[in-house]
């Protein structure tokens, strides 16, 4: 039993350290991590192929609690005598049956394991606290950039049998963005191009990942940062028309924009402390690579400190809106961000 959630990356690295308990909650905004965590839980509960006869999956919206309870109470003929019941997209299910679920967690069936697949599970709720005390919580929120790079190297070796050095992992994350499912797909493609040494270099990533889409994405961002709205919108239309997903596009440009935001914050903090720091030094500290420093310095000057200080908020708002917080069409969410990046400096924006 644990009193706090287990990070999904920690769980996936060592699932044996976190055995499934009668009630498990897999929650967070990273769909890929939730899916991988459920796969590991299924293996831990049911074992081999015959165990799948003891697996029942429900769609959260519209499923009565009694159906879930009946499945959990039925003794399984396979899978070591235990049943696994997964409620996918369980946010609505939890909202409708919260009190009854709390009663169930207090006295769960010993013949089954219930897995709730959730986009969010607030830590201040009684349900969260009960699962934390007597069940298993797996936190599937997106990892930090530093953790993402390390995960890429570990996942490349464990899942795809290739060595991905830190520099190659950085390039891959910058091209693709922090979408783990897309990163896994690109790693699978890279593994097919690896030679006998099974090593993936930054040059291989740049040559094989993204193609014209990656180039167009950076051209779109450059045009926006240079104030060329028309060109940026044209590139956005090309990308969306080719089937590129809006959340993937946001992920790809967010890494660069977060560096601009971090550099702005360093400059403002230095000024508040009456210390001197030049813009190039701030960009270097924020992780901007040397070969793009000159361009980045020019773009950040065009952006200005006021808009640079708002980048974190704009990126968070765009991310939440694309994930369902807003009814605004995804294209308009990205167009709004482009306009904000391209507009002349203003004290009121």
Collapsed DSSP state (helix, strand, coil) of residue 84: strand
Kindly state whether residue 347 falls inside one of the protein's structural domains. no
113 falls in which pLDDT band (50, 70, 90)? very high
26 falls in which pLDDT band (50, 70, 90)? very high
Domain match, 162 and 97 both: no
pLDDT at residue number 110: 85
Domain match, 253 and 164 both: no
187 falls in which pLDDT band (50, 70, 90)? very high
pLDDT at residue number 253: 86
> Rounded to whole angstroms, how far apart are CA atoms 136 and 5?
7
Domain match, 300 and 338 both: yes
Kindly state whether residue 90 falls inside one of the protein's structural domains. yes
pLDDT at residue number 23: 96
In the block, which residue shows the tokens 């690109």?
Answer: 186
| Of the listed ranges 20-29, 90-99, 271-280, the one predicted with least confidence | 271-280
Collapsed DSSP state (helix, strand, coil) of residue 249: helix
Domain match, 133 and 187 both: no
When pLDDT is averaged across residues 17-46 and rounded to a whole number, the result is 93
Q: What whole-number percentage of the chain has pLDDT above 70? A: 91
CATH number at residue 179: 1.10.8.60
Domain match, 219 and 331 both: yes
pLDDT at residue number 128: 95
pLDDT at residue number 346: 47
Indicate the pTM of the whole model: 0.63
Task: Give the domain-ending residue among 93, 108, 139.
Answer: 139
Q: Render pLDDT for 249-299 as a digit per residue (tens, 0 to 9).
A: 888 788 789 989 999 999 999 888 888 888 988 998 888 877 678 888 999
The H or E element containing residue 57 is strand 55-59
Statement: residue 1 has pLDDT above 60 = no
Domain match, 242 and 189 both: no
DSSP of 88-151, one letter per residue? ETTHHHHHHHHHHHHHHHHS--SSEEEEEEES---TTSHHHHHHHHHSEEEE-PPPPHHHHHHH
Statement: residue 165 has pLDDT above 70 = yes
Statement: residue 183 has pLDDT above 70 = yes
Closest CA to 68 of 23, 119, 1, 20: 23
Q: Render pLDDT for 37-94 as a digit per residue (tens, 0 to 9).
A: 999 999 999 886 555 678 899 998 889 999 999 999 877 555 556 889 999 999 999 9
Which structural domain range is residue 176 located in? 145-209
Q: What angle do CA 317, 322, 328 make, to 5 degrees?
A: 90
Q: Render pLDDT for 167-178 as a digit per residue (tens, 0 to 9).
A: 888 888 877 777
Domain match, 162 and 229 both: no
Expressed in angstroms, the distance from the first to the final Cα of the chain is: 48
Cα separations in angstroms, 153 against 149, 186, 199: 7, 13, 11
Domain match, 334 and 291 both: yes
pLDDT at residue number 116: 97
Domain match, 321 and 216 both: yes
347 falls in which pLDDT band (50, 70, 90)? very low
Beta bridge partners of 84: 55, 113
Domain match, 302 and 265 both: yes
CATH number at residue 312: 1.20.272.10
250 Cα distance to chain centroid: 12
Task: Give the domain-ending residue among 190, 209, 228.
Answer: 209
The pair of three-digit structure tokens given for residue 307, joined into one six-digit string: 């808009």
Per-residue H/E/C for 262-311: HHHHHHHHHHHCCCCCCHHHHHHHCCCCHHHHHHHHHHHHHHHHHHHCCH
Domain match, 160 and 245 both: no
Average pLDDT of every residue of the chain: 87
> Rounded to whole angstroms, how far apart are CA atoms 129 and 99?
13
DSSP of 310-332, one letter per residue? THHHHHHHHHHIIIII--S-HHH
pLDDT at residue number 234: 93
Q: Residue 76 gets which letter from DSSP?
A: P
State how many domains the chain has.
3
CATH number at residue 68: 3.40.50.300
Q: Render pLDDT for 297-331 as a digit per residue (tens, 0 to 9).
A: 999 999 998 999 999 999 999 999 998 888 999 99
Task: Give the domain-ending residue among 189, 209, 229.
Answer: 209
Statement: residue 195 has pLDDT above 90 = no
Domain match, 303 and 253 both: yes
186 falls in which pLDDT band (50, 70, 90)? confident
């Amino acid at each position: 039993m644990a009193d706090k959630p287990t990070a999904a990356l920690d769980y996936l690295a060592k699932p044996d350290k976190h055995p499934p308990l009668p009630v498990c909650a897999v929650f967070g905004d990273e769909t890929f991590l939730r899916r991988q965590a459920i796969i590991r839980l299924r293996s831990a509960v049911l074992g081999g192929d015959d165990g799948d006869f003891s697996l029942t999956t429900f769609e959260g919206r519209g499923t009565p609690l009694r159906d879930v309870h009946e499945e959990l109470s039925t003794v399984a003929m396979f899978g070591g005598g235990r049943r696994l019941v997964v409620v996918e997209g369980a946010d609505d299910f939890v909202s409708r049956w919260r009190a009854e679920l709390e009663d169930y967690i207090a006295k769960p069936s010993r013949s089954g394991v219930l897995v709730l697949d959730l986009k969010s599970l607030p830590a201040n709720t009684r349900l969260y606290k009960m699962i934390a005390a007597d069940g298993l919580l797996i936190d599937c929120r997106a990892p930090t950039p530093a953790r993402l790079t390390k995960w890429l190297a570990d996942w490349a070796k464990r899942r795809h049998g290739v060595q991905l050095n830190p520099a190659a992992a950085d390039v891959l994350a910058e091209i693709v963005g922090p979408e783990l499912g897309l990163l896994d797909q690109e790693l699978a493609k890279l593994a097919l191009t690896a030679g006998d040494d099974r090593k993936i270099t930054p040059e291989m990533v740049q040559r094989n990942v993204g193609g014209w889409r990656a180039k167009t994405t950076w051209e779109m961002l450059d045009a926006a940062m240079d104030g060329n709205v028309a060109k940026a919108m044209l590139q956005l239309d090309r990308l969306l028309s080719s089937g590129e997903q809006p959340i993937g596009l946001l992920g790809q440009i967010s890494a660069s924009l977060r560096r601009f935001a971090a550099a702005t914050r360093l400059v403002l903090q230095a000024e508040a402390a009456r210390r001197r720091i030049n813009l190039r030094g701030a960009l270097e500290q924020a992780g901007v690579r040397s070969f793009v420093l000159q361009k980045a310095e020019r773009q950040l000057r065009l952006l200005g400190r006021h808009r640079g200080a708002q980048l974190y908020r704009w990126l968070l708002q765009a991310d939440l809106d694309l994930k369902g917080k807003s009814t605004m069409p995804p294209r308009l969410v990205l167009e709004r961000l482009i306009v904000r990046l391209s507009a002349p400096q203003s004290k009121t924006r």
